[in-house]
Structure 1
Amino acid sequence: MLLDTKWVLYGIKPMIIAVIVQALWKLGKKAVKNNLTGLGAIAAVIGYFIGWDEIIILLGVGLGVMIIQLRGKVIGGWFSLSPLVAQTVVGDNITSPSPLNVFLFFLKVGCFLYGSGYVLLAFLERTLVEQNQWLTSQELLDAIAIGQFTPGPILTTATFIGYLLAGNLGAITATFGLFLPSFILVLIINPWVDKLRKSPVTSALLDGINAASVGLMVGVAFILAREALIDPITVVMGIGALILILRYQINSIWLIVGGGMLGLVLSTIS
Structure 2
Amino acid sequence: MIDKVNLNYYESRQSESISSSYLFWTFLKIGSTAFGGLMALISVVENIIVGRHKLLTHEDMLDGISLASCLPGPVAANVVAYVGYRIKGGIGALIASTAVLLPSFVLILGLTIVYLQAGEIPAVNKAFAGFIPAVTAIILCAAINMSKKAIKGWREIAIAVVAALLLQIIGGFYITLVVVLASGLIGWFCFRRQVAKKLPQESIIFPSQKLSWQKIAIPLIILLGLLALSLIPLPLGETSLAKLFITFSGMSLMLFGGGYVFIPMIQEIVVNNYQWVTQTEFSNAIAMGQITPGPILISAAFIGYVVKGFLGATVATVGIFFPPALLMVTLSDVLETIKNSVVIQAALKGIRPAVIGMIFIAAFVVGQTAQIHWLSLAIFVGAIVAILRLRVDVVFIIPIAGILGLVFY
Shared fold, TM over 0.5:
yes
Is contact 2:253–2:324 with CA below 8 Å preserved after alignment?
no
Any idea what SS the aligned residue of 1:181 has?
A: helix
Q: Which amino acid aligns with 1:248?
A: L
Kindly indicate whether the alpha-carbon contact (under 8 Å) linking 1:102 and 1:170 is maintained by their aligned counterparts in 2: no
Aligned-CA RMSD value: 3.4
2:318 partner amino acid: I
Q: Which amino acid aligns with 1:2?
A: P
1:124 Cα shift?
4.1
Which residue of the other structure, out of 306, 309, 327, is the alignment partner of 1:181?
A: 327
Give the gaps of 5 or more residues in structure 1: 76-97, 110-122, 148-155
Q: How many residues are aligned here? A: 212
Summarize the alignment of residues 26-105 of structure 1 with structure 2, pairs less than 5 Å apart.
26-51=145-170, 53=174, 54-70=176-192, 99=248, 102-105=251-254
**Aligned 1:173-252 pairs, distance under 5 A:** 173-188=319-334, 192-193=337-338, 196-197=339-340, 199-252=341-394
1:249 aligned counterpart, secondary structure: coil
Number of the residue aligned with 2:295: 157
1:157 deviation in Å? 2.1
| Superposition deviation, residue 208 in structure 1 | 0.9
CA contact (8 A) 1:62 1:212 kept: no
Shift of 1:37: 1.4
Q: Deviations over 1:176-220 (max 9, x none)?
A: 143122221144455x35xx32x2221110011111111111222
How far residue 143 of structure 1 moved from its aligned partner, in angstroms, is 4.9
Contact 1:17–1:224 under 8 Å retained in 2: yes
Which region of structure 1 is more displaced relative to structure 2, 169-178 or 38-47?
169-178
Larger radius of gyration: 2
State the Cα deviation string for residues 145-169 of structure 1 (Å, max 9, x = none). Answer: 732xxxxxxxx42552544677635
Higher relative contact order (CA 8 A, sep 6+): 1
Counterpart residue type for residue 214 of structure 1: I
- Structure 2: state its 5+ residue gaps: 1-120, 197-203, 206-246, 268-281, 306-312
Q: Report % sequence identity.
A: 21
**TM-score for both structures, normalised by structure 2:** 0.45
Change (3 A) 1:162 1:228: farther
C-alpha contact 1:62 1:204 (8 A) present in aligned 2: yes
